[in-house]
Amino acid sequence: MVAVAVLTALAADLAYESQVSLRIAANARNELQATYLAKSGIALSRLVLAFQAEVDEAAGGTTAIAGAPAMPRPQLWKIAPVDSDLAAALFGGPARSRPEAATALAALTGTPAAGPQPYPPAVPATPAAPAAPAPPTPPAAGSFEVDIQDEGQKVNAQLEGTDTGQLPAQVQAFWQLICDPKWDPLFDREDANGVRTSRADLLVNLRDWVDPDSVTSAIAASFAPSGCAIALPPKPFEPGFGDENALYDRGDVQDRYRTKNARMDSLDELYLVSGIGDAFMAAFGDQLTVYLKRDTLANANALDLFPLQRNAALMATNHADPKLQDLKFLLELQKAAQLRTMFGFFALTAKDLSEIVGGLGVSVNPNAVGGTTPLFTDKSTVFRLRAQGRAGDVTKTLDVILRPDKIQPTKPIPGQIVHWREE
């Protein structure tokens, strides 16, 4: 009985260890599959955005016919969701029966391809035995899906623009984001060092973080006592007289640091700027970007309420027009923009948006839409790709910032990746 009891305990322990090892191996397999499924989603997104770059150029670039009216430009990345179903539709099914596909597959895998087969297959001279039915295709081991966001439709928190470029428009857009009185609690609190940061202080802190000097800046703007009205000169920031590192030279020695005095590399770097914390990023993080190039034009191609309101305020003659804060006006503006673009099928140009805004009773500044220094574009230059690969009960997420380009024979995968993070 003692021997049986000992052997039973050993057998139970061995069975448990075997189950744990099998589970660990299965999880490792699923994680690997999920990772490469997510990477497949990124690769497919780069291909779709490369075709979008080709469409953009054909619709209004150097290949457009001179004097011809601009063609409505479809947005491929909005029309077809980028996921494993799209990959199966593009690369699976009947395409595998074509001889060129078999040859390409053999070249990729290194396995010898079968001899040349006519397409369509020729009828054999003598009757042949019926071929055995092909085995059913096994179900996919997992799936992926990619959420593509246009970074150009977000507010650029990188206040490094030149005084003669887009810097006043950037400051105006950022102010429109944070000016609503409902966000007052974010700016009435003190941080761990007892510092209270107002909205105007936050603009200055963002400028000081990226400007090349070590002297505090001063914002040259006129703010309304309440509401979102702001008047900005062509040069919104002027040199001050203080030390811009004083805000970060507080607390314990190991917690002190200095301003970067260079452009930000990722959105997480905003946490280092005085006045920005978890509460601020929870409220505005999904509407901010730092990945646009200097003096990038604002993207007029937006259908969400806040980007539409921001763009309408930027192109309005009077930025403080009460209609811009009226929910009824914003809903009418959104409905008109959706109808003009067939609910996102086509791009919304700055001219289209100005006609809609003007038609709803808001005076539009013509210099903001056209002229020598326009403020808007309708083409996207930076995208955020959030790919999720799933295998079994494992999910792998990739967060990628991409600057797309056209398909080039010398470049195997189009697009330039400027940020990559795995979760």
Tell me the domains of the chain and their CATH numbers: 2-75+382-422 (no CATH), 158-289 (1.10.40)
Whether residue 124 has pLDDT greater than 70: no
Answer for the pair 30, 392: CB distance below 8 angstroms, yes or no: yes
Spatial distance between the Cα atoms of 277 and 267, rounded to a whole number of angstroms: 12
Predicted confidence (pLDDT) per residue in 198-210, tens digit: 999 999 999 999 9
275 pLDDT band (50/70/90 cuts)? very high
Supply the pLDDT for residue 125.
53
What band does 390 get if pLDDT is binned at 50, 70 and 90? very high
- For residue 74, give the DSSP letter: B
Say whether pLDDT at 34 is over 80. Answer: yes
pLDDT above 70: residue 62: no
Residue 203, pLDDT score: 93
More confident residue, 58 or 266: 266
Task: Indicate whether 150 pLDDT > 90.
Answer: yes
| Residue 310 burial (10 A CB sphere; 0-12, 13-18, 19+) | buried
Q: What is the reported pLDDT for 192?
A: 77
pLDDT of residue 403: 92
pLDDT band at 108 (very low <50, low <70, confident <90, very high): very low
Cβ atoms of 292 and 382 within 8 Å: the answer is yes
Could you tell me the pLDDT band of residue 216, with boundaries at 50, 70 and 90? very high
Q: Where are the beta strands (DSSP E) in 168-259?
A: 215-219, 222-223, 230-231, 237-243
User: Is the pLDDT score of 54 beyond 90?
Assistant: no
DSSP class of residue 399 equals E
Residues 6+ apart with CB under 8 A from 317: 363, 364, 365
Q: Is the pLDDT of residue 107 over 60?
A: no
Q: Name the least confident of 105-109, 321-325, 379-383, 388-392.
A: 105-109
Global pTM? 0.79
Query: In the predicted model, is pLDDT for residue 121 greater than 60?
Result: no
Give the model's confidence band at 276: pLDDT under 50 very low, under 70 low, under 90 confident, else very high: very high
Identify the burial level of 276 via C-beta atoms within 10 angstroms of its C-beta, where 0-12 means exposed, 13-18 middle and 19 or more buried.
Answer: buried
Say if residue 260's pLDDT is above 70: yes
The CA distance from 34 to 29, in Å, is 9
**Top-confidence residue, 113 or 41:** 41
Average pLDDT, the chain: 82
Contact criterion met (CB below 8 Å) for 378 and 358: no
Contact 195, 247 (CB under 8 A): yes
Q: How far apart are CA 237 and CA 204, in angstroms?
A: 8
Q: What pLDDT shows up at residue 111? A: 47
Mean pLDDT of 288-300: 89
Amino acid at 147: D
Quick one: what percent of the chain has pLDDT higher than 90?
36
Answer whether 56's CB lies under 8 Å from 378's CB: no
**Quick check: 65 pLDDT over 50?**
no
Report the pLDDT value the prediction gives residue 82, as an integer from 0 to 100. Answer: 92
Residue scoring higher pLDDT (295 or 371):
295
Q: What is the pLDDT of residues 158-209, one digit of tens each?
A: 998 776 668 888 898 899 899 888 899 999 888 877 889 999 999 999 999 9
d(CA 279, CA 80): 35
Q: Which residues of 161-191 are buried (b: 16+ CB within 10 A; e: fewer)?
A: beeebbbbbbbbbbbbbbbeeebeebbeeee
- Parallel, antiparallel or unpaired: strands 155-156 and 288-289: parallel
CA dist 339 and 303 (Å) reads 10
The answer to whether residues 48 and 385 touch, using CB atoms and an 8 Å cutoff, is: no
Are 287 and 177 contacting, i.e. CB atoms less than 8 angstroms apart? yes
**Separation between Cα atoms, residue 314 and residue 170, nearest integer Å:** 10
